[in-house]
A = this chain, B = another copy of it.
């Protein structure tokens, strides 16, 4: 495991409060991609006094600090995950909603090439695959 979220906050000069610590810990433990509501539920079990406004403010702050990644998958609410070294994309099961993380260097390179072709420097991208499980 690389740095904890708390360490990242220190490194980036993000002030640590009790609320932020709780939110950070819950996100670290979450291997799925919770939306704000779900995150708020989990956080509330640890400290019921934390308000949903703080959860919204904190995920936004963490996202801007490069600590969390925000995803807006099809037709739903925004969902978050901890951002670690290895970049990855998502394969979403359209039946169950299950999410599989994957990495494909070849696709990454091709994306860069496409951007170059049009005279752009690639600064970000979003790749989501939607599939049905084969029997």
Contact = CB atoms under 8 A, between A and B. Distances in A.
Interface residues of A, number: 33
A75 B70 CA distance: 10
Instruction: Give chain A's interface secondary structure class.
Output: strand
A59 to B, nearest CB: 13
Assembly stoichiometry (copies): 2
Given A72-B72, A115-B91, A120-B93, A128 B129 contact: no
B110 A106 contact: yes
A121 B132 contact: yes
A16 interface: no
Interface of A: 72, 74-75, 91, 93-94, 100, 102, 104, 106-107, 110-111, 114-115, 117-134
